[in-house]
Each structure stands twice: as structure tokens, then as C-alpha cells.
Amino acid sequence: MKPRRGALLLVLAATTAAPAAEEFFDSISQALSFQSASGSHAARLSGTLDLEGYAFSQPAPGLIQSQRERLFNPRFSVFLDAQAGRRLYAFSQVRFDRGFDPSDKDLRVRIDEYALRVQLRGEGRLGIQVGQFATVVGRWTLRHTSWENPFITAPLAYENLTAIWDSAAARSTETILKWTHLSGSSTPAQENADRHLRLPVIWGPSYATGAAVFGRFDSFEIAAEIKNASLSSRPDAWNFDRDAWHHPTFSARLGFRPSMAWNVGLSASTGSYLLHSASRTLAPGTGLKDYRQTVVLFDASYAWRHFQAWAELVHGRFEIPRVGLADTTSAFMEIKYKLTPRWAAAVRLNRQTFGDLRNNQNANVPWGRDLWRADFAPTVRFSPNLQAKLQYSIQKEEGRPHAQHIGAAQITVRF
Amino acid sequence: MHCHRHILDRSPRWIVLLVGIWIACCTELQAQAVIQGRVTLPKARPSVVVNQRYEIVVQGGVLAVHPPVAVVYLEGKFPASPSQPLARMEQKGLLFHPAILPVRAGTRVEFPNLDNTYHNIFSYSAPKRFDLGRYRPDDRPIPSQVFDVPGLVTLRCDIHEHMRALILVLDTPYFVVTDTDGRFRLEGLPAGRYLLKAWVDSRTTREHGVELTADNVTTIDFP
């Protein structure tokens, strides 16, 4: 069966009469669940099919890689969850799509996540996890998958590209300003030409490879990890065999849950943001370890009944020897309300500002365009297995004459 | 006879009343029928593995096991219940208890959260569509819903995707859940001709005509 026809059949199955569809997906779930004779070992395959469409003006916003102004982005994700007794848990995610982020490239298969978790002490008091998995920094990763995310895109801190490259070190402020396209004379095509080289503060859920230790102590949660790539690093750098462990990134989050409704946390991360291949571009007398990214993130969330709210304040710093400290601060607040059992609405306000660098005339100049973005997204769940989302975003960057309007639609089938 | 009347005459009135009620109850019980038997159950479903991919700090692993059971009920015309029945479907250990709950139409079902975490119970089933939102163990009043349309309602939790349970809303006060071997005993049934049904799963309901007479135990197996 061709992938497109299979996807169509899955969507059709999900949109048939609800009880029949629920039974169909329950039977799939049963067929994809396995357990040992004793029942102490079990595994389950599940997944999602996402059919996404984007409409935007150039240059493409966020992490979208496309020269066009319309983009169809299908994605088929398969998850494996396995449990052995109460202490061992393993999971994996395999995706078949056009790239980790929306793009118009060819479809391909990729293993995005795999991890083994061991609970050393019961009730989540102490555990370790090794593999390739989402960062412990912040709380957005908990809802980054298409079914959980009230929006189709990520908050600004997780997708807005800065002027930092990972394949080359900036040798001067002028280089940074050129990569930022701040002059205003750059055409969308010129801006698109180097988009694939630029980094956000945090690249999506940052599935880098490494190990984490975590635990819960009364109302406190703590998680710390060592990974092979920084938070800003691109998906290609997350794999175990890329750049390995010469300059690992250390991250941690301390969370406090004063009540079930509230969760606040403080995260920090530091590590080298340049790829090993950038070694030949470093300033004389410097090494990769001198090009560090440091992130401090405060998160807070609240949930009660049909209302949920999340907020994060992210401060990112890229150290650029001989140039300076490139600082950026990003914040967002996200609210979701379930209007009915099927309908939900979400609003997110994003803001990102950039600090100054000193140019060759000894003047302070911003190294990025300050911007804000408002996202609006209604969601309808037709059944426990079928969901449709719309998103409208308006983004305004300082220095650009017009606001950018972004439209997106997403249908998700979950099995 | 004289002696008997004498004792009654000397007893307090409330004793006379209690004896009267007791005799009435015995007479009523003796007039009621019992059905017992066994339902052949399907194979047990595999354990459900809990998705813990992104909530890294979690409360240990849970292998959710729901051995299959059936619901046996008597179908017929029965008088309405004088008061609204109340039932409970608990959430404990990231599971629903019980996994299947038969109730008579019109029953209010409470959903107490006995876990130290949020739950968010919802249903998209046609007989009852609702979403309770996120609520704590100490939230009062305990969230509840009235199930007044007969049919099958599938419950899920919006936070814990592995959690699933069923409420079977029936138009009869006479029902029982089998044990995990499929055995059942339905007591206190009125005499008459009825249809005995065994709900096994959403696609399988077996039935058997029965004629119940007072003081009689009928045995019916559903192969």
C-alpha cells in the first residue's frame, strides 16, 4: 500500500461513525500490545499521523524550510513503550516525514528518540535514563507532540532563528549583523539562503543523546542531564555518532509543585554550540569550549478543571570570543480552555528581544530583530483518535514594514 | 393459640412491627427467583504500558491489567426506581476501578480521584458526552455525572492515555458483574418471562429467554 493511500484510509477510519471508529482503533491498540506470559513485561506500539498545511509569506517563519509560501507537511510517527516490572521502562520514536521540522524535502524515515529508564528507588524518588531523548529543560517538551500541543508551531524560544551559526564561528560583530540580515536590504531569497545554518535558542524538544538522573523529594522535582549537543543544536547533531562527547552540555531543572495546580521550575544549561566542523573557523587561540551557549529558563504552569496556562521566560547567551556576549530573552504565555468536551481554544503571546554587540565603530548595535507574535488556535476532537487544529499567527519584527501572517491547519489521527 | 395471642398482647408494639416486617420480607424473598451460571469470557487483553516519555519524573511503572469480565442482566419492564441511584468509579493507581461499571439509567456516578495527581475524565460516547476537566483528590463535591441514556459509555483520561473504563447504562435494576471465571449469580428477581443477557464486550452480547418462578434457582450458561 502506498503511504498516501494508507494515510487516507487511516483518516477515513477515524472519521467514520464514532463508536465504530473507537472500536477500530481499540482493536488496533490491542493488536499492537504484547506481554509476557507472566504479565510482568509488556510493550505497546502506538502512533500518530499528522497532515499539516502551512500558508505564510517569505521568508518562512520559525524552523520551516521552504522557498514556497504554501507547504504540505505529512508526518507518520510510531512510538514504542515497553515496561519490565516496575523499574525498567524503554521508549522509542520513529518518524517518516520530510524532515524533523516542516519542509518541502522528500519523505524519509528517522529514529528520533530511544531511551532506557531505570527507577532506582520507587515512586519516582530516584531514576536514571540513557539514550536520545527530550531535554529536561523547561516544560514545553511535555506537550510538544501534535496530539498534546494546543498549537501547531512551537513558542518563539523553541523555533525563532537567531544569527548564530553552528557550522562557523563569527569573527566579528559585522559578521553577526550580516547573518542577522538587519540591514533591511536583504531579499527573502537571500534570507532563506542561510536559514539552514542558523540556530534558535532551543531547537524544539532538543532530542540530543546522553544520560539523565531525576528524582522527586516531597514537593520538589529535580532532573539533570549530560548531552552530546547544546540546546540550540540542530537535529543532525543529536545523534550519538555526531561530535560525540568532546564538549558535552550540562542541563538541569529544579521544579517545585506547591499544589497539584501549580508547577514552577528553574532550569539552566551550558555547553558548546558549535559543530566540530567549525573548528577551522575559530578565532586564534580559542577552542570549541570557548563558544558556549548558556540558557536560564523559568517556567510556571497552572491547571484546574478546563483551564490550563503555561509561561516560560528564557534567557539565552551565546559566547563569541573576540566579539562579545550575544544575549537574547524570550518569553511566552499560553492559555488553553476546553469550551466543550470536543472544542478547545488556545492563545499564546510570544516576545523575543536581542541584546547589543559592539561594532567596529565602538557603537552598541542589536544583534537581532526584536519581535512579538500572537498565536490563536482552536482545536476540535472528533473522537479520542481524531483531532483537527487551526492556527493563525501574526508576527511583527522591528525593522520590517509589515507584520507577517501565518496560517496553519493540522489533522492528527492517533492510534 | 391463646398462648400466642397472649405473648403478642404483652410485647411492645415495635417488636410486633419488626416481626411483621421480617415475616413480610421472608415471604417476599421466598417469592423471588435466582439465576446463576457462567459466561465464557474472551482471552485477557495484554497489559497496557503507560506512556511516560516526557514526564521524566514519574511515579514508577504501571502495568495496567484488566482481566475480562461480563455483565449479566435481566431485560424486561420494571418499575422506576423511587430514588436516584448512586454509583462510584474511582481512579486509583492510574487506573479506573472498576474497569466496567453497570448502572441503571438515571444513576449518578461519582468519579473520586484517589491518586496524588490530576485526572481528567472524559467521554465522547453518544449516550453521555462530557469532560470533567482536571481535578484533585480533595476537590468537593466529587465530580459526577448522571447517566440517563442506556448504552455503552467509554471513559478515558485526557492526561493518562492508557486509562480506560466502561459504564454500561442499562434499563433494568437487575444486573451483576461476573467474576473473572465468568461465574455469576443474580438474586432477588421477580417471577415472569424475561430475556437474560450477557454483555461480553462492545460487539458481543449473548441472550437467553428465561421463565422465572418464585423460590426457584435457574442455571443458565452462556457458552
Q: Which residue of B has its CA nearest to A17?
A: B126
Domain residue ranges in chain B: 32-78+175-223, 80-171
Give the bridge partners for B122, in sequence order.
B131, B156
Lowest mean pLDDT among A175-179, A347-351, B30-34, B54-58: B54-58
Residue B139, C-beta contacts closer than 8 angstroms, at least 6 positions apart:
B113
Residues of chain A with C-beta less than 8 angstroms from the C-beta of B132: 305
Note down the domain range covering A392: 32-414
What's the pLDDT at B8?
Answer: 43
Position B26 scores a pLDDT of: 43
Residue A111 lies in a domain: yes
Q: Grade residue B23 by pLDDT with cuts at 50, 70 and 90.
A: very low
Chain B residues in contact with A216 (beta carbon < 8 A): 57, 59
Query: Does residue B94 have a pLDDT over 80?
Result: yes
Averaged confidence pLDDT in chain A: 92
Nearest by CB to A305, from B45, B135, B202: name it.
Answer: B135
The answer to whether domain B80-171 has CATH 2.60.40.420 is: yes
Q: Is A258 on the interface with B (CB under 8 A)?
A: no
Q: Is residue A44 part of a domain?
A: yes
In a domain, A191, yes or no: yes
pLDDT tens readout for residues A260-279: 999 999 999 999 999 988 99
Q: From A80, which residue of chain B is nearest by alpha-carbon distance?
A: B51
Q: In which order are the strands placed within the sheet that holds B175-177? A: B175-177, B71-75, B192-201, B204-212
> Looking at the domain assignment, is residue A370 inside a domain?
yes
Mutant choice from A44, A119, A128 vs B, greatest count of B C-beta within 10 A: A44
**A2 is a domain residue:** no
| pLDDT tens profile A153-211 | 999 999 999 999 999 999 899 999 999 887 767 777 778 888 899 999 999 999 999 99
A43 close contact with B: CB closer than 8 A: yes
Which pLDDT band, with edges at 50, 70 and 90, does A313 fall under?
very high
Superfamily of domain B32-78+175-223: Immunoglobulins (2.60.40.10)
pLDDT of A16: 56
What would the mean pLDDT of A11-15 be, rounded to a whole number? 61
Q: Could you tell me if A257 lies within 8 Å of chain B, comparing CB atoms?
A: no
- The model's pLDDT over A203-237, given as tens digits with 9 standing for 90+, comes to 999 999 999 999 999 899 999 999 999 999 999 99
Q: How many Cβ pairs within 8 Å bridge chains A and B?
A: 135
Query: Is residue A18, in this structure, part of any structural domain at all?
Result: no
- Residue B192 in contact with partner chain A when CB distance is under 8 A: no
CATH of the domain at A175: 2.40.160.10
Distance from CA of B178 to the nearest CA of A (A): 22
State the pLDDT at residue B29: 44
**Cβ <8 Å between A341 and B59:** no
Number of compact structural domains in chain A: 1
Q: Do domains B32-78+175-223 and B80-171 have the same CATH topology?
A: yes
Band of pLDDT at residue B5, cut at 50, 70 and 90: very low
Residue A54 counted as domain residue:
yes
pLDDT of residue B30: 46
Strands B217-222 and B33-39: parallel
Range A248-257 average pLDDT = 97
In this complex, the residue of A117, A259, A341 whose CB is nearest that of residue B122 is: A341
Q: Residue A400's pLDDT is what?
A: 86
In this predicted structure, the answer to whether residue A10 has a pLDDT above a threshold of 70 is no
Within an 8 Å CB–CB cutoff, is residue A142 touching chain B? yes
User: Is A289 part of a structural domain of the chain?
Assistant: yes
State the nearest Cα–Cα gap between A140 and chain B, in angstroms: 10
What does the alpha-carbon distance between residue B154 and residue B145 come to, in Å, rounded to a whole number? Answer: 13
Tell me phi and psi for residue A134, to 5 degrees. Answer: -65, 150
Report the residue from B52, B122, B135 with minimal CB separation from A89: B52
User: Does the beta carbon of A91 lie under 8 angstroms from any beta carbon of chain B?
Assistant: yes
Is B54 close to A303, i.e. CB distance below 8 A? Answer: no
Q: Looking at chain A from residue 271 to 310, which residues have their Cβ under 8 Å from any Cβ of chain B?
A: 303-308
Q: How confident is the model at residue A405 (pLDDT cuts 50, 70, 90)?
A: very high
Cβ proximity of A398 and A370 under 8 Å: yes
Q: What percent of chain A has pLDDT over 70?
A: 94
